[in-house]
């Protein structure tokens, strides 16, 4: 099949004057090269497309593909991850991963948690701070955890994200509101174990790839799986497969959230335990990173001896099966 790859490349935006933090969610050249190489190894014809503007120009010229493998994050707005899928749907071009509605919903952590909580899936109590006046109305129990409401790759998460009193809360919210120009999610901090669940498939056909526990060792930020901790994970973080009693509980919570939110094909669900050990939903990533070495989903697969090519092949097979069902 002729498979086009849509993505946002860090180097392109850095050359335009974007800051390092601005491009944290974007792809490295290593990821793009690995995916194109893997498509070819699996017997497909890979086509390097790139960002939304490139895609738009090629679509308008009449170019088409059998499938778009979409990992484009978009640049601005809460609907930025939905832009490429929306364009592809307008031109009836099939693509991998979630649809525009799910991508927009899941990027806004406040909306996601409202839906998850409404479905009876456990998640920490929370509020969304639109401006500093909202901070005075917060009645959640300290300690609290704060982060931008619509960012990924742990952007805005640091050792200042864990706040223990109203002074720290106000200071951290002010900093995030000014830096990211978007609301701030404030939720009760869960002190227990942290998991991520890899998921493949769609709806009732979705299943867990496995459950990975995240162990933070860096002395300055042991409570936050921050951007710095992710970047320097070899020194600060270790990972292990979960094979005790929490595995089935983590999978149950993750799949319930995945299916309720309408996520498709592959991604990741992040979870944490409360003080009593009960597993709670934190957030879902329906466009999980696919760097061949240091993305969490790939690390999870590596712990289970699942090669990168097998992971990508599985995603493509499940996408083809989903598309075939939609045509029946």
Dihedral sign from CA coordinates of 28, 179, 156, 268 = negative
Enclosing H/E stretch for 175 = helix 166-180
* pLDDT mean over 111-122: 98
Is the separation of the CB atoms in 126 and 110 below 8 Å? Answer: yes
How many Cβ atoms are within 10 Å of 290's Cβ, its own excluded?
A: 22
Tell me the C-alpha distance between 46 and 208, whole Å: 28
Give me the DSSP letters along 99-126. Answer: -HHHHHHHHSHHHHHHHHHHTT-----E
Residue 218 DSSP symbol? -
CATH topology of domain 194-327: D-amino Acid Aminotransferase; Chain A, domain 1 (3.30.470)
Write the CB contacts of 156 (distance below 8 Å, at least 6 apart in sequence).
Answer: 147, 148, 176, 179, 180
Its pTM stands at: 0.93
Is the separation of the CB atoms in 50 and 4 below 8 Å? Answer: no
Identify the band that residue 222 occupies on the pLDDT scale cut at 50, 70 and 90: very low
**Most distant CA pair in the chain: distance in Å?**
58
pLDDT tens, 167-208? Answer: 999 999 999 999 999 999 999 999 999 999 999 999 999 999
Of 21, 16, 83, the residue nearest 287 (C-alpha): 83
Of 33, 36, 34, 14, the residue nearest 24 (C-alpha): 14
Is the separation of the CB atoms in 271 and 258 below 8 Å? Answer: no
Give me the DSSP letters along 144-162. Answer: EEEEETT--TTTT-STTSE
Mapped onto helix, strand or coil, the DSSP state of residue 170 is helix
pLDDT tens, 254-312? Answer: 999 999 999 999 999 999 999 999 999 999 999 999 999 999 999 999 999 999 999 99
The full set of domain ranges for the chain reads 2-95, 125-188, 194-327
Residue 276 DSSP symbol? T
- Whether the predicted pLDDT of 224 surpasses 90: no
CATH class of segment(s) 2-95: alpha beta
pLDDT tens, 3-17? Answer: 999 999 999 999 999
Residue 28 DSSP symbol? P
Is 3.40.605.10 the CATH number for 125-188?
no
Tell me the C-alpha distance between 186 and 124, whole Å: 10
| Euclidean distance between the first and the last CA atom of the chain, given in angstroms as a whole number | 20
Identify the band that residue 139 occupies on the pLDDT scale cut at 50, 70 and 90: very high
Tell me the C-alpha distance between 308 and 38, whole Å: 8
């Amino acid at each position: 099949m002729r498979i086009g790859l849509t993505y946002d490349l860090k180097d392109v935006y850095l050359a335009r004057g974007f800051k390092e933090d601005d491009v944290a969610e974007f792809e490295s050249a290593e990821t793009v090269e690995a995916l194109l190489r893997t498509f070819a190894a699996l017997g497909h014809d890979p086509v390097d497309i790139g960002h939304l503007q490139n895609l738009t120009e090629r679509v308008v010229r009449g170019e088409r593909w059998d499938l778009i493998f979409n990992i484009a994050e978009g640049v601005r707005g809460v609907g930025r991850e939905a832009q490429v899928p929306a364009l592809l749907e307008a031109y009836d071009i099939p693509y991998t991963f979630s649809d525009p509605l799910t991508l927009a919903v899941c990027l806004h952590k406040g909306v996601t948690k409202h839906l998850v909580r409404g479905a009876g899936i456990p998640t920490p109590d929370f509020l969304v701070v639109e401006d500093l006046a909202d901070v005075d109305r917060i009645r959640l129990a300290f300690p609290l955890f704060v982060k931008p409401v619509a960012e990924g790759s742990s952007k805005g998460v640091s050792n200042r994200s864990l706040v223990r009193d109203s002074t720290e809360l106000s200071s951290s919210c002010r900093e995030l509101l000014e830096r990211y120009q978007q609301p701030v999610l404030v939720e009760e901090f869960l002190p227990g174990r942290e998991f991520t669940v890899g998921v493949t498939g769609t709806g009732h056909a979705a299943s867990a790839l496995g459950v990975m526990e995240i162990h933070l060792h860096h002395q300055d930020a042991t409570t936050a799986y921050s951007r710095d901790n992710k970047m320097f994970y070899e020194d600060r973080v270790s990972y292990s497969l979960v094979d005790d009693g929490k595995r089935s509980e983590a999978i149950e919570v993750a799949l319930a959230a995945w299916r309720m939110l309408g996520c498709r094909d592959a991604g990741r669900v992040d979870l944490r335990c409360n003080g009593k050990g009960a597993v709670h939903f934190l957030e879902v990533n329906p466009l999980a990173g696919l760097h061949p070495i240091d993305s969490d989903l790939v690390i999870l697969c590596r712990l289970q001896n699942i090669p990168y090519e097998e992971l990508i092949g599985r995603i493509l097979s499940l996408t083809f099966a989903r598309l075939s069902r939609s045509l029946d």
